[in-house]
Structure 1
C-alpha cells in the first residue's frame, strides 16, 4: 500500500519525508529491474499509517518511533539470516513480502502467556506489542519460507532507555521448518551433553 508524504489533517509539526534504506534484500521487480533493498517509511509516512489505523501518537515522538522501528527490523532480519544459514551457510535470501499482524497472538505467544498466568513469578505476563509475518525466498531453489516475529517490551534500563526483545522463528508450515525448530531447541542441550567430561558409552 502506498502511503502519502502529505501532512495528515490537523497535523501540527512538519515531519521529514526522507526514507532510510534497509539492509534487507528485496526480489527483482516483475519488469526485470534489480531488486535492491527495502526502504523504510519516512516519519511522515509512518505517522500517516498510524492516523489511518486510528492510533493516537504525539507527533514529536514519531521520529524516535521510526528509529526504533528500523532498528528492530534490522535485528529481526539478522535473526532470520541466522536461521537460514542453518539450512545453507552460503544463503542469500530475499524478503518477498511481509504483513503486520498486531493484536493477533501467535500460538507460541499464547503458550507463554498461559505459562505466565500459571507462574507469573517465572514467566512474562505481557503479550507481544506487535507481530510480523515475513515471507523469505531462497533464490537458489525458489522456495518460500514464512517467519513469525513477536516483538516484546522488556523492563527499561536504569537510565530509562527502552528495551525490546524479539522472538524470530520459521513458522511450522513445513516438515523442514519443524525440523529446524526442533534442532534449534535441542542444539544447546546436545552440545553441553557432548562436552560434558567423564561420559562414555559402551
Structure 2
C-alpha cells in the first residue's frame, strides 16, 4: 500500500488509460512490468495452468494482445480445446494489478510467416524444441532446439473484460467490459 500519488487512479478513464499504457509499454520495454505477464488457461483435465509469457503486441483500438509460443506447447492445445484465457500483470511501481479475460485465437503457418522471418536467430531458438515442449526427459538438458517456422505460433488474445486494481492509500478497482463499449464500473476492492 502506498500514499495516493497516482492521480490517474481517481477516475475510470484514468485507470483504463493507464492499463493500456502499461500493456503497450510491456511490448516496447524489456524492463516494464507488463513485459512478462502471467497467462492462465485450463487443461483438458480441467486444471488451471499458469505460466509466464512475453507480451509481443498490445493494440488498444483492436482490443487485442499477442504472445508468441511453440506450436507444440501445452497452452496451444489447451486454447484449441477451450479458447478462453486470462492474463495477469502486477506493476509494483504503479501499485497496479491488471487482469484480462480474453478469447484466444491461435495463428500458425502462412498467417505468421512474416512475424517468424522478422525474428532474430536468437528469438527463433525459443521455438522448436525436440522432443516437444512439456514432455518428460531423463536429464535436464536432454533436448535439442531445431527452430522451424512450422513450430511457431501466435496467440491472439481478443480482450473481452479488463479489470484494474490500484492499491493506493484508498484502494480503487474497476471493471471494463467490451460488450458495453468499454464503459467502466467501479468494483469493491
TM-score by length of 1: 0.23
Higher strand share: 2
Query: Which of the pair has the greater relative contact order for Cα pairs under 8 Å at 6+ separation?
Result: 2
TM-score by length of 2: 0.24
